[in-house]
Structure 1
Amino acid sequence: MSTVGAITHRKHTSMNVPWKSCSIFLYLCLLQCAHKVVPQQFLLEPLNLTTLQGFDAQFNATVEGRWKIMTWFVKDCFVLNVPVIGNITSASERYSAQFCTPGETNCVQFNIHNVTREFSGPVTCTVLGEYGSEVAQLSVQESGTVNIVKGNEKATEDEQVEFLCVATAWFPAPSITWTQNGHPVDSSLFNTSSMEDGRYFNATSVFTFKAVNNTTVACQATVLSLTNPVSSSVFLVVFAKPPDWTVLIAVVLSFSLFALLVLLILGIMFCYKRRKEKKPNYQREMSHRVRTQSQISSVSATVQRQGTVKAGSAPDDQTSVTPSENTDSGFHQTKEHIYQVGNAVLMKNKVKTMFMFMCLEDPFRTEWKKKYTLSYTNVSINLTHAFWGN
């Protein structure tokens, strides 16, 4: 065999490394001794190694007793040869080996420099002779970026706040955690999901909580090979919650509506009572007015009639009767006249009394006052004419 297989590094370029020192004898011996293992005489460690892309991978092979040649394979590709005596031969600068302790040949350290994901797979160490071979597994991981979307936030006390963390270009899918002021957050308080995107994985995580006070929120992403997680942090500023006037406003509004309702009911009751009291008074007043007007009209008519009779009949009576008749008639007439005048005077007093009663009952009704004053004056004038005969 004259060449070694291609090895791809981070930028996905490949190179072919010729191998010049292989011999048919070496590979015949390897074929003969590959499956012969002596317990506790040959040890390869670690058997499972996980490292980060760009770092070195290191394996140690410990052999008890005397041995001559040790050979290393990466993903079934021959990459390095270590003789007990002589120079170490490597297929590429990416591979190197040395004895763990100078001057001692029982331990060999094998190194793969600047590993990429293309190196992931089996790493085989074979010792010529009766020792056989041991196989270890190499896993190469990649770390990406972490970012909390929107950056710093502001919130009011007791407000629900949400933070979104995005991790991109990881392999394998990263594990995401959150911290508040440096204290880990329980995993039940946030949700994380991941999705494969070609050769990489992207992950998102949503953290929701109630704002209480100013807090430093950090999102961390990591894989097994990372010593320290990749993190992104923001600051949450919490403002005091304004006073809640809702309850107070509701109470004040309730009392106001109740008071308004009470006042409305009282007003309706008062108006109804006033109306009920005013209606009988109005009816009585109208009745008094009708009776008074009727009496005034009657007195006025009587007085006018008596005055007319006296003025038209007195001269005839005096010329046609005898002195005795005149005396009796005059006495009778005078008596009758006095009686009638007395009635008129009596009616006058009644009118005056009713007029005073009406004025006292309602002094503000000026129209009625003027009317009854005029009637009272007419009655007085008529009574005067009736009494004196002129």
Structure 2
Amino acid sequence: MSHQSPATQSRDCASTHPTALSRKRQRLGLGKASSRREGLGFCYSILNGPTNATVLAGSEARFNCTVADGWAILIWLLNTNPVLTVINSHGPIETSDRFTSQSYNNSQSFTSELIIHNTQLNDSGKIECSIQKPGGSSFAFLSVQVNGSLLIKNSSLIVKENTTVEIVCEALGWAPAPDITWMTNDSLIDKLRYVTQQSQGSNGLHNALSVLTLTPMNTEILTCLAVIEALPNPQNATIAVIVGNSTLESDYSEDSTSTWVIVLAVVFSIVGFILLIILIWVVVRCCCLKKGSTYENEVRKISIKKKTDDHLGNRQRSGSENQGYIPEEQHYTGQIPTIVSLPPMSTKFTVPRPDLHTSSAPKGRPQRRTDYPINPKKIRNVTHV
């Protein structure tokens, strides 16, 4: 970049770009001072200002401003707010990473390019180039647009012959609202066959809903297109509409039925197997509990029986004795009369018969006389419990 004194710049500007008024003054002999002043004013004018731009959000926006040689300061403003300053003797002064510039020089002009990085929806508005003099400004407009989403809920649709259907295409989160059109097999569909409604959300973005009504005769590929100015190519969503005959539908129904039958059979088989396992477990558990209960009952019965027997034995052992019983003394005689056995619990005394005689006593033992009478009063009582 060349730097010259103001007088030199004025002379160069006047000699290079003489105005009609300065030429007239020169012919009239009014001197060079007036021509210098006229030339100085011309040097600070804007030759080419910025032009309008439309970009997608997140991309870059570029604006150019060309001024005649001899300028001193140039300021870029966005919606009246200064965003970048360029000084002839210093160069650009950048205060934000989102706003930068590039410069292009030649011998007669200077071009400053403003670059806005990562454009946002609120960047839309007036872009102004100013050289800080009355009438020394030029402006353009920036439009930042948002590319939203476009969708058709189903990718394919099977319909019967001579059946009217509605296909819905939904555009969400656009700015501005997109222009929606329909195509079938690469041919535009008449706008009378579809209706499009637009609405604006709370975030400043727009939504659109387009409903196409048609009665397909053959299989068709339908395409919904949404376009805004900043999009180089329209965004699209596609659906295949298949026209099915009765045979196809019956086959489809049979296939669906058989599929459901198989699925249900598998499910019931699994559930039955699980229930069988649970039933077997319950039976085994009950048997184990019953066996354990029978064993405990037997042990309990044996224990009770043993206790009962012990109690009866104790009672028998603890029977009372007849304290009035006096045992008879043993008498040895030559003859021992035979005594007939008495019935139990009898109080009668039986006298031995005289015709019965006992055998003699063992040899070697003295015999005792038995000529004394038997005492009939001696009675032995036994109590049985």
Q: Please give the TM-score of this superposition, normalised by the length of structure 1.
A: 0.49
> Could you say which structure has the greater relative contact order, defined with CA pairs below 8 angstroms and 6 or more residues apart?
1
More helix by share: 1
